[in-house]
Structures are given as structure tokens and as C-alpha cells.
Structure 1
Amino acid sequence: MESSLESKVVLVTGASSGIGRAAALALSHEGAIVVAAGRRAERLQTLVEEAPGEMVAMELDVTEPESVDQVVSAVVARFGRLDALVNNAGLMLAGMILNADTDEWVRMVETNLLGSMRVAHAALPHLIESHGSYVQVSSTSGRISSAGAAAYSATKFGITAFAESFRQEATPYGVRTIVVEPGFVATELVNHTTDPVMREAADRIGESMRTLQPEDIAAAVVYALGQPDHVAVNEILVRPTDQLH
């Protein structure tokens, strides 16, 4: 039976690694036309070569408004439409508030929050035209904050709130909004942290449980996007079985 995602044009941000990479491959497997976007061109090209279906790579820096506008415009110019956005680009720079490097806060706000907002804003007119879907990858840290993750949690709380407003504004146009909130996933995200104490703490947490894999979150994305048009799975919370918070 043909997948409901067959020939749908899907833009995936942060596709060079982790959840974005897994989502791009899973969507390609379902027959979607995937635009894999991110900053690391070599990794994106390797991803394209592994894809089971049609996939193209586009360099994207979500912190640069011109880059965002150019990529979204290029997708529509090439394929004539945009059916879904998987807004996944992000970074995590864990650290305590006391003696924090606030430049790292700025980087997270620019990428996780403002960057995601920029892409959603640029994509919305095209999603309205296609009655498409907006998937926002957030985090359990957007539900429960913790010591050492204040700024990261602030960005995830923020993007989850943005997505709810987006949902309310876009629903009358037939656009579905889906927020996916992963718990601890085994990706290179934790490697972004420069604080050695926080890195060690993250390693201990990862070793204490059976962590999620990027493919687990990709499966949630495919599930939500694959529902009939009249079904909106607005929120998916996915934790490792062993994760308490």
C-alpha cells in the first residue's frame, strides 16, 4: 500500500546529525521528497547518498534570516510546494547559572528559539497553500526545567509556547501542528556542552538508562505526519522507559 507520505515535500532542518538525520532517512523511506538542510555540507551530502528515495541537500544556518528565506524559497521554486516542515535544528550548552558564559545563552536562543521561529515563519505561507504540517522538535526540558539546563530549558519552553500559538493561528487554514518532545536521546547534542562538569553529568545520566535512539524520535515524526488529514497529533512526549523526569 502506498504511504500517505509518498511524494510529499518535506523540509528537515538540523539534518546533518542526530534526530534530524534519522528523520530525513525515515521520511525518505516512506517515499517523501526530503530536503535535508543544515550547516555541515559534507555530512548532508553523505546523507543524500544513503537516502532510499529522492533527497536533496541545502545548506542552512537558522541564525541567519537571509539563509532561512533563501532555503525555503529554493524548496518551493524547485518542487512547487512545501508539504511539511520538521523544525529540528538546535544545540544544548548545559551549565549552571552562576559564572555562566552568557554568550552560550545567546547562541541557544538564536538557534533553538529564534532560529526555529524564523523557519516556521518563512514556511507558514507555503504550508497554508498545501494544507501542510509543521513539526517542532522540542524536549522534555520544555516541560520540566532542571539545574544546569536553565537557558536550554528556556529555549525549549519558548519554542513549545510558540508552536501552540502557531497551532491556533494555522489551524483555521488546515495546517497541522505537531510538537515532539524527546527525553534523553543518544546523539551528539550533549557533546556541544563545554562545561566539563556538565559533560560528565550528562555521560552519567546516559549510562544510567537505556537511552532513546534518533530513530525512535524519527518514528514518532513519521507516525504523526502519516495520519489522515483530519487527524492532528498535536503533541508526542517520548521518554526512555528508564527516565524519571
Structure 2
Amino acid sequence: MDLKDKVAIVTGASAGIGAATVKALLKQGMKVVGFARRQEKIENLVDNHNGKLFARCVDLTKPQDIIDGFAWVTKNIGPVHILINNAGVSIASSVLTGELEAWQQIMDTNLMSYAIASKEAVKIMKDNKMEGYIININSVVGYYDLFIPGNVMYRSSKLALRAMTENIRVELARMNSKIRISSICPGLVKTEMMSVNYGEQASESFYSKYPHITSEDVADTIVYVLSTPQRVNISELIIRPTGEDVKQMADI
């Protein structure tokens, strides 16, 4: 796909993989709209974006916020060609002792926002007869059970996302659509999520013990997937640090 001047929406764009993806897509000459609650952080990601970076304050746990965000992009920037569903939260919360509010935030952010955004994107892409692309950022924890009770809701959201992404792909195929969808599943990525959940000291100690990749590595993978010819749909891709053993990382 020729990415120059195409319109992309990136959710969870204010930090981590989302922020790195915004920068990578801008380098490809795209018009990039970042969705996140911290709008000012998106606006300050790059110094010179030639008028191609746009930031919208969107709470991805609120369906109407997402729908309104897509409507704004269509009206002010143009119909979306590429959607990068990246927003995610990880909150320690077991099923037996956890809080409903935490479960709801995990599922609304990690799964429901992806479904709502995908529905809006496909509708716009179909109306404009586009060969669009949706990329869902998943996780290798969707492949493993780490037997951490506090991790179960996060892991469940990633398992569900794998199933949903493949079912969207099949539904698009049965519609004879040219819209592609991929699930990119990173292993351990060094982002601020770990320090937010467990504190800076625990985060640095954890990353010092285990191999990890960077947000930029994932962003480069996204650009690669988008660059494949129309006949190619990489439906699922795992990107992990060399030497990773996920089951050894259960001691944080």
C-alpha cells in the first residue's frame, strides 16, 4: 500500500507503542490522527509534522467518544484508510477478589474499543470503496496462561481479541471486501505501562532481568505489515525479543 497522504487513526497515541507508531506513520508521509485522553501529549510528539498530525481527546472506554472521533476525522481530515487499534490497560485484578470497575476498564479499553473502532472504520472504508487496513495490537499473553490470578482479566481480553480479529477477517472475506486486518502480538515491550502499574523501581528491576523490545520495534513492524501488497494479508504476527521465555516473567 502506498501510504503517502493516506489518513490513519491511532488509538492510545499519547505514549508507548501508540506514540512510536504515530511518528513512524508521519515519516511515511501519512496524515495521522491520534486518539487518547491526553491530547496535549499527542500534539507534542514531534516538532515539525508539516500539518499532518492531528490530536483528538477521546476516552476509549466511551463508545460515543469513539464514534464522534471518527465522524470528526471524516469531516475535517478525510475518510480513514488505516486504523491502528493500540489502546490498552493492564490492571492487576483477579476474578475472585477483583473489582468490577477494573474488569470493566480492561475490557472496555482492550476489547470493546477495538470492536467499535473497527466497525466505524469498515463502514467508512466500504462507503469510500477503499482497500483499507486495520491492525490490532495484541500480546503474546493471548497465547500463554501464566497462572497469575491478577493477570487473568488482561489475558482474557487478549484471548478475546485474537478471536475477534480472525472473525472480522473472515467476515470481510465473505463480503468480498478488499479491507485487510492483522493482529500484531508483541512480547515484552518496554513502555510506561509497567511503571504506572507497579512503580518505577519495580519496572526498572523487571526490565533489567528480561530481554525486551522497544515501542519503535513494534512501530517498524506495523509499517512493514502496511507495506505488503494487496494480495497479502498477514493475519497474525508475533514479534518478541530474542531469547524471551514468557513463563519466566511471572514474578513481578
Give the TM-score, by structure 2 length.
0.88
- Is residue 184 from structure 1 mapped to residue 184 from structure 2 by the alignment? no
C-alpha deviations, 1:88-143, integer Å up to 9, x for none? 01111134555333421221011111122111111111133312001000100111
Measure, in 2, the Cα distance between the counterparts of 1:109 and 1:94. Answer: 13
Q: Unaligned 5+ residue runs, structure 2?
A: 247-252
**Cα deviations by residue, 1:35-67 (Å, 9 ceiling, x for unpaired):** 111110110110253547711111111111111
Deviation by residue 1:161-212 (Cα, 9 ceiling, x = unmatched): 1111111112321110111001110001123426x7xx94x65442212311
* Contiguous gaps of at least 5 residues in structure 1: none
What residue in structure 2 maps to residue 8 of structure 1? 6
Aligned length: 239
Aligned equivalents of 2:117 and 2:33: distance in 1? Answer: 14
Instruction: Provide the identity percentage.
Output: 29
Structure 1 equivalent of residue 177 of structure 2: 173
Contact 1:84 1:127 in 2 (8 A): no
Residue from 159, 162, 185 that aligns with 1:160: 162
Deviation at 1:8, TM superposition (A): 1.1
Letter matched to residue 153 of structure 2? A
Which whole-Å CA distance do the structure 2 matches of 1:110 and 1:42 have between them?
Answer: 23
- Tell me the equivalent position of 2:225: 224
Task: Compute the displacement of 1:80 (Å).
Answer: 2.9
Q: Which moved more, 1:147-156 or 1:51-60?
A: 51-60
Output the TM-score relative to the length of structure 1.
0.90
1:207 is aligned to 208
Residue 144 (structure 2) pairs with residue 144 (structure 1):
yes
1:213 maps to a residue whose letter is T
In 1, are the aligned partners of 2:185 and 2:237 still within 8 Å (CA)? yes
Equivalent position amino acid for 1:191 in 2 = S
Pair 1:46–1:122, CA change in 2 (3 A): same
2:135 alignment partner in structure 1: 135
SS at match of 2:183: strand
